[in-house]
Structure formats: structure tokens, C-alpha cells
Structure 1
């Protein structure tokens, strides 16, 4: 008996039993294309379109579909190969669930989603994920390096993305039109490797089919910081700009806030994001000891950034600069700042955004925009200055790492040269003549 049949009504018996074949070929409409239906242990009933109206060809395609599905099932795979884009969609959904359960940081999920959608899906698209091999990964690597220069991104002018429920349009700058840095490329390939491992966990590919994704080791590179004499110069230039008779009160206030920002950053080691998120309730013990001498103020900072939070001890010299910011708030608002008010605020009481532009002007005025290698200094340079100075002063690496919210390994990798300076006496022993 031919397995061809019209699709039975929902309550009719399965015709596979009468056809003696493990699958049934049917049409959903009298003149429509043929479909095949069969069952796979662990997956239930499978229905697939055969995309033909020719009954002879339909029988051939149905047999091929059934045999292929059974073979994949015996190999431990799903009955039908998943496309890369479908797996990528499921991967992102899984990441979102993990973020909802607080198993993963939301900002990381958002960042990974943009990488997956812009780069991975654009390249692999509808390829069957179990058909992607090592050579495809190599071709992707080269394609990604050229993306913003001669690749698909060369004509892109605006990148839209969501932030706080609002769509933001970010223009592509000339600085962005370059190959990704080794560290950026490494970070993206970490995500790609996680995606393939997810596919293996879901049974879409076997573990042996996960392509080899080499993570190029990024060489340790000293961060752009300040020498002690350079920071002293920056501080002097900043104060001189504050006393400039040609500026108005509004500009003077902005420069004073920037000066306080630089000093607190350099004397606490805070990350820029941590400073931006800082509220007055996070300056622990400040309200109670405002009237006390500086050297008696036992202030701690509670900061949030990079999806983490910590409480740490700043240098005592940082405390007085909080007084400046407190007084600015009093003058502008006519009241003391509340616990939820931002430490770094605009005259209207809103949280201060990026200081990139104003800081660049200050660094340029001091002749310190770049370090001796030509690396551009940023707000992060104050954190590196803090860590360097603490190492030179002999602070234990483990304690410093805990206070700065990093690892001792990171300090060893990126600040090793500073440790050499700290050990200068040990490196100059008295040699004895034999």
C-alpha cells in the first residue's frame, strides 16, 4: 500500500500502522505540497514539509528525511539540524533567564546579545550548526577583523540600541572604523565558544563537533597612568584653571567638581562607573564625622560597578573633597543631600554623566593627554595611578587587590613594572669580589 494519504482528521488512527512504513506522507490541502510525519523516541512526533506536489518525489524525500532523522537520533543528536541563527536565538533566551535568576549580570547579557546578533548571526546565518568546522571559524576571524573597514560595517553610520527602555542612536566615529583589538577579539570568541557549548548541551551537535576556537593570549600591557610628578602637575594646572579670572561662576563650579573628581579617583582607586553610581549613602560614616578633623574621619566607600559591589577603605586625603561636593549641593539645593542623591551632580541635582570631554581639556592643558608611549589617558588612569602608588608604598598585593576590587593576578600582570621599582634596593645588592 502506498504511504501517500490525505492528512487524517485529528481523531483518526495513525495510518503508519496500515502502510507498514514508519512514516506517513500527507497533504494538508488537496492541491497542497506533501508533508511527512513520523515519531522519534524522546522527541515525539515530527512533521516536515517536503516542498513538492509530485507524489513519486515525495516518497523519495520522505524516506530520506526519515533515515536522516533516525541516524541523527542514534548519534545522540536532534532529529533535525538546527540553523546557527536558531541556536543563537535560544542561546540569548537562556542568557536572559540566567540574568532573571541573578546567575549572570544583565549588562553582560546585553553586551553579549549585541555581539551575537551583529557579528555571529551576520556571518553564519542559516548555516546548519553541526556543519560549521574549524575552517569556518578561521574565515569568521578574518571577516570580523575587516568588518568596520572593508566589510559589512563600512557603510554603517548609526548603531541603534536600547538603554533604560529608550532607543539610543550611536554614530560610528572614525576611531571605531578599525580592526578589533586583541582583547576585544578574545572576549568575542569566548562568547562564540560558549554558544557552541550550549548547542552541544542541547543535543544539536556532539561535543566532538564543537569547532576549535583558539583564544589568542593578550599580552600584558601597562595601563596609561601618571608618574607622581605628572599627577602633581595635573593638580596644579587644575587649581590654576579654577582661579582664572576670565571664567564665570558656572564654569568655575564645573572645574571645581572635576578637580574633586580627579582627587577622589586618584586617592580611592574607584572605577569611573563606580564614581558615577556613588550616592551619599554610599559614603559610609561621612555624615557622622563631618565636623571631625580629617585624620579622625573613618570613612568607607560602598561602590557598584561591573555588576559587582564592595566596601573599601579610601585614602584619608580623599575625604576633604567630599566636603567640597557637599557644600556645592547645599548652595544649589538649599538643603543637605539625601541618601539617594548622587555625590557627583549637576547644578540641578541630576547625576553627572561622563567627564570625558572636560577631563580631556584638563589633560591637554597640563600636557598630559597621552603617556610616554602615546597611549591616551582617561578617567581610568587615576585608578592605575592609585594602584601604582600603593605598590610603591609597599602595600601588600593581596590586600590591595581586595580593596581595589580586582585580583592579585591582574595586579601582577599589569603592574609588574611598578613592583620592580618598589624592589629597587633588593635589586641592587652589594656584590662581593671572590
Structure 2
């Protein structure tokens, strides 16, 4: 315990448990909170104010926070691994609230740093951040594959989540690779700047067995037709009860159609789009038979979260936005309790509540549609994006234009283009001639 003459002023707020004080020989004029943590040990926290009354009010919150941390981690030190995990999650929450991080990525950070990282630390018997050796993360992949996956569906206390995913299975290499990246970012943007660590850990990433193109294969045109036809029938089923959400079904169906006609990243871009980022115009096109056809073109401004920039493009499928708008207005007229959009509203919202659609609910429905067609595991929802790229390239749209529309790198778009080029030139590549003499190749010089 500090000698009493170290304090300029000290006042007891909770008998034998908490005091506020000013230091005698420190430059800081801020008030501090002194808290007894047991076993003749104390911890000190700056209250970051020179006003005594404000310091008193803040000290009770700090006291509760320290006790909760001590109960959770067994240490009052702000440098415990669990405390720094919580600090990182709070930072990601702030980024999400400010629009700089998608909700999907925020949830991934929250789960990894409230479950996997603390449990791995417990497995390695680390409590404080200083306990982690530089090579301490080498076993992380092995632990995740053998033990960590069993934590799916549990909260940070090990209790089963009421609404958690009960389906437990080992993660894919790509999933662990993503977690490795997040751990390295934790070091790079929190632990190293605060001088708690010298360098980010080296954790090997598994090489992917599939490239990005094969991971989300594009639909064949026949399969796409089957899928949207079955989706349409599902969305138009008659005599549905309110609990079967007939209006919600129509929104989900239109989300599928637009995902295949725009090629956005469905979870982090499509579901985040608001009405003020969409403009629709009519275009009249002359068909080969001489008839005119009206088409609705959508001009979209999409926030590309992966590359942290806005991209703008023109897309077919504007009629689906028109149809969705008319649905919302029609449903609101029938029942004023239903959501009525405005310019700042999300486009894909639950008609009953106005809240953003759940990507998990959408993909679960989509999988049921695929199962009913005998296409189980044949495609992912991201196949809508791959399908869009494929179709535009087949129609002769320049690779650079498609890359700008979708936010793909030129490298990825060129992979699609090369694959299509090989398919389209199959006859040329396998051409054979019969009965023709071999051309004279000349003679060797030696």
C-alpha cells in the first residue's frame, strides 16, 4: 500500500473498499480512484477529471467495473487478455455504429473475441497479455479444429445460447484463416499501438483448396431458371397465415432476383442498401424482330465495405425495385402498422417491423429451395454474384466494367473471363484434321 504522505488529498467513499485521492508528487492534477481488491492489494484508476464532484460520481462506475473484471478474469489489471478482448469488441461496435464495419463482421469479431480467443488463452493458461509468448499462437489452428469448434452455440460463460446455432462441426480452413486475420488486426491496431506487444504473431494460414471462383460456382442458366421459378412459387403460395409471413416471402424473393441481377455482396452490401442510393430510369430497346421493349435501369451507389469506398454502376433489374416499392405501399395501405419506407430506409426490410432482413433466415430459405430441386450444396447464395459476372462477360461486357460494377479485383474477373474463353473456344482448341500431311518443320542444324 502507498505511504500516506504520497497523497495530497484522500477521501474514503466506501468503508475499507474505495477512496478518491490526489497524488502529492505527480504532475497530473486529475483525481484517482483507489480500490481494495483483497489479499492486501489495491488497484488505481484515473478518473480523468479535476472536478471532485464529478470524480466522486465516476468512481462508483469504476468500482463496479473493476469488481466485475476481477470476478471474470481473476485480476483487476487492465492488461488481462479478457479485458483487452472486451476493449477490442467495443471498438468494433463503435466502428459498426459509425458505418465503417458491416454488422456481419462486427458479429464475427464479437464472437471470436468473447469466445474463441479467451478460451484459447485459458487452454494455454494465459491470464495477462504479457503471458503470451511470440510463438504462442502456433497451436491456434490445431486447437480450433480439435477443441474450439465445440464452443459453437455457447456463450462466453459456457452456457448454451437460447437462439444459438446448435449445429456443431469443424470449421473450414477459410474460416480459421479469417480468424487469424482478426487476431493479427487485434495486435496491429490495439496491442502494438498501446505498447503491450512488440509485433504481431506469425500464424500460418492454410492454403485454400479451391480458388474464389470455384468456392461460389455460378448457376447454369437452366438451374437459375429452376431456382427463381421455385422461389416465385414459394413467394406466391396462397392461403398463408400471418405467421408464415407472406409479405416477407415476397421481399426475400425479390432480394434473390436483384442479387442475381446486380452482383453485389449480398450480406454486406445488398442488405445494407438504402432507398436514397437508388435511381431508376426507363430505357427503350429495339429487339431484333423490330419491336420496342421498355427496360428499367437501376443506378446504384453501393458502399464497398471490403475496399472502403463507394462504387456506382448501372444495372438491369430496375423493375424489381419498382415492384418492391409498390408492395411496401400496398401493404401499408392495407395495414398502417406495416413498414412504409422513406429515403433513408433500408430497401430490404421486414414489412412488419421495418428491421433489416436476417441474412441467416434468407440463406436458410434459399437452401430449402435448392434441396427441393435436388441441388443441395451445389450453390451458395454468393453464386448470385458469380452468376452475374459470368452472364455479363458472356454478353461481351468489358472485364474492367464488370470489375467496377461488382467491386471485384481485375485478377478475379480475369479468372472468370479466362474460364469462359476456354469454354467458348472448346471446338477450336480440340479441332482435328484428318488426311492432311504434316507441315514441313525444316531440319535440325545438329
Give the structure-1-normalised TM-score: 0.63
> Residue 178 of structure 1 aligns with which residue?
169
Give the C-alpha shift of residue 420 in structure 1.
3.0
Give the C-alpha shift of residue 130 in structure 1.
4.7
Give the C-alpha shift of residue 300 in structure 1.
0.9
State the SS of the aligned residue for 1:367. coil
Q: How do residues 60-209 of structure 1 correspond to structure 2 at under 5 angstroms?
A: 83-85=80-82, 87-88=84-85, 91=88, 104-105=100-101, 107=103, 108-109=105-106, 111-124=108-121, 126-133=126-133, 136-148=136-148, 153=151, 157=154, 169-174=162-167, 177-197=168-188, 198-207=190-199
CA distance in 1, matches of 2:95, 2:320: 40
1:339 aligned onto 2:339: no
Please say which of residues 219-228 and 300-309 is displaced more in the overlay: 300-309
User: Residue 344 and residue 98 in structure 1: after superposition, are their counterparts in 2 closer, same or farther (change >3 A)?
Assistant: closer
Give the C-alpha shift of residue 290 in structure 1.
10
| 2:145–2:171 Cα contact (<8 Å) kept | yes
Give the C-alpha shift of residue 400 in structure 1.
0.8
State the SS of the aligned residue for 1:382. helix
Larger radius of gyration: 1
1:261 aligned onto 2:255: yes
State the SS of the aligned residue for 1:171. coil
Give the C-alpha shift of residue 186 in structure 1.
0.9
User: Residue 216 and residue 134 in structure 1: after superposition, are their counterparts in 2 closer, same or farther (change >3 A)?
Assistant: farther
| 1:183–1:218 Cα contact (<8 Å) kept | yes
> Residue 311 of structure 1 aligns with which residue?
312
CA distance in 1, matches of 2:226, 2:78: 64
CA distance in 1, matches of 2:2, 2:347: 73
Give the C-alpha shift of residue 178 in structure 1.
1.7
CA displacement, residues 371-417 of structure 1 (integer Å, 9 cap, x when unaligned): 2xxxxx34322222111222333322222111012222333467764
> Residue 22 of structure 2 aligns with which residue?
none
CA distance in 1, matches of 2:98, 2:240: 51
Where does structure 1 lack aligned partners over 5 or more consecutive residues? Answer: 13-38, 40-46, 54-79, 161-167, 372-376
> Residue 405 of structure 1 aligns with which residue?
407
The two structures, once aligned, show a CA RMSD in angstroms of 4.9
CA distance in 2, matches of 1:236, 1:345: 23
CA distance in 2, matches of 1:242, 1:95: 36
CA distance in 2, matches of 1:237, 1:278: 26
User: Residue 351 and residue 270 in structure 1: after superposition, are their counterparts in 2 closer, same or farther (change >3 A)?
Assistant: farther
Give the structure-2-normalised TM-score: 0.61
Query: How many residue pairs get matched?
Result: 353
1:281 aligned onto 2:314: no
The one of 5, 10, 27 equivalent to 1:9 is 5
| 2:284–2:294 Cα contact (<8 Å) kept | no
> Residue 16 of structure 1 aligns with which residue?
none
> Residue 363 of structure 2 aligns with which residue?
356
CA distance in 2, matches of 1:159, 1:86: 13
CA distance in 2, matches of 1:324, 1:6: 72
